Structure 1
């Protein structure tokens, strides 16, 4: 179960093994801690008691805070989760040698393969009904082969020597990927193409909010694996920038967010916004619901079908075992189609 709280004036308290959400004298929600996976607090004006925080910490339940546009700004975990010194030392050493290069290449390879596979997934359902669309999607998907080979051919002693080239290859294919997906976005949404921060159109706002929800799930998986979310490889260091979260999320954007939200708008979902051009509460709640629901669905992984949430956690653990030298190579997650 997930507790999502966004109403201004709401207060989260602990009551006899449960988290209870009240606003003034009205009870909005009540969830047993035993079945709770996480708490997501959206926007401002929401309070939480120290007893509720302590209960979540003791039960291993993360509390994520995201802004009204989906930007994650903080998370609360048990302090004991950050005490994995050996893994963190190995993670920092990896940056300056071959393990860091292998991980940065792996994250990029995973992202590109998943972009291509999502295009193939979409295309296969349109082969008869829209053959021109099918051909264009399959063409862009096939172009990934050259990009993958270019990434595998890169050589360097540390990730700093390769980052610019990796990001350049990734950026060129991303432009083709989003250019192809533009054909699926209804014209009434007036989609200008992919935009991140400060997007003013509804579909980019929905995507950015979905990525914000996924961001919290990735960060939690990394912390549980004993890794430092701020010590990344593909994404450069910057104060306050959770670079490793941004690295690992690349493997899961397409399977969890892009596929889910493209499916929603193509099934007629109307994105509602207020007079300021911001997503309304019901729209934000639906995005959270659908992204978290998708994380519980299964994909082929290591010889069997497993929930995407479990796959995400396994990938985080694979990073940890790889940097500690307990795994020979890091293999990115690639979705089926």
Structure 2
């Protein structure tokens, strides 16, 4: 149950409909709810008021160690990782292309501009290593954000893609959205008994949920970039809010 400061119930949600919960700032959950979430294997992610990830609460009840053993073996299979990385990168590039086309309402671009995206997908098929795939993806990302910048209004234009700290409004929105997406994928991974520490593209290192980073790649344009563009386009968020 969600209540306001006057203890009036605003909404009731079945725990069976919840994959994970994200808490920002000083919002609080009752001890009773935390216990229920733990029993149902629902992770809780805590963020600062600025969107910085702080920590998570997880009961690990959903962990399937047999699955994780097979997952670990697959993560060391170079052929499997190469195949999956190609699929993820190709899907991401096509999603980037489709988003640019969807928001290019004034016809700023033509098929010549988009050829490099399709050519990149073709190049992925012959890639021989993960580093080659990431190189192709990185070059396309520069083109993608260059074109994307041409489609946003002046208050949200940006020089280049940057992360922490965000140097402009547009990147601040992207980084905030990506941090939420990252946490959601961690929750889904754990919910399915897998380990977020074994991936296919990103190299494992301490405290990095590499599988979440892998799986979220193709969804960045579809979920976060599209949401940010839509909010700006419809005036739901303005430059003065920053």
TM (norm. structure 2) is: 0.87
CA contact (8 A) 1:64 1:72 kept: yes
- Give a deviation string over 1:227-252, Cα, whole Å, max 9, x none: 21122221111100111111010010
CA distance in 2, matches of 1:21, 1:62: 23
CA distance in 2, matches of 1:190, 1:152: 34
CA distance in 2, matches of 1:67, 1:251: 26
| Residue 120 (str. 1) matches residue 104 (str. 2) | no
| Residue 40 (str. 1) matches residue 7 (str. 2) | no
CA distance in 1, matches of 2:113, 2:189: 32
CA distance in 1, matches of 2:57, 2:240: 30
Deviation at 1:214, TM superposition (A): 1.6
CA contact (8 A) 1:140 1:180 kept: no
Higher relative contact order (CA 8 A, sep 6+): 2
**Which of 181, 184, 191 does residue 148 from structure 2 map onto?**
181
| Residue 110 (str. 1) matches residue 94 (str. 2) | no
Deviation at 1:187, TM superposition (A): 1.4
**Which of 33, 51, 56 does residue 70 from structure 1 map onto?**
51
Give secondary structure in 1 for the equivalent of 2:61: helix
| Residue 270 (str. 1) matches residue 238 (str. 2) | yes
| Residue 167 (str. 1) matches residue 134 (str. 2) | yes
1:20-169 → structure 2 map (5 Å cutoff): 20=3, 22=5, 26-27=6-7, 30-34=10-14, 37=18, 38-43=20-25, 45-82=26-63, 84-97=64-77, 98-123=79-104, 126=105, 130-131=106-107, 133-135=108-110, 138-155=111-128, 162-169=129-136
Gaps spanning 5+ residues in structure 2: where? none
TM (norm. structure 1) is: 0.64
CA contact (8 A) 2:42 2:187 kept: no
Deviation at 1:221, TM superposition (A): 1.7
From the superposition, tell whether residues 245 and 196 of structure 1 become closer, same or farther in structure 2 (CA, over 3 Å): same
From the superposition, tell whether residues 148 and 196 of structure 1 become closer, same or farther in structure 2 (CA, over 3 Å): same
Gaps spanning 5+ residues in structure 1: where? 1-17, 156-161, 274-278, 280-337
Aligned residues: 238
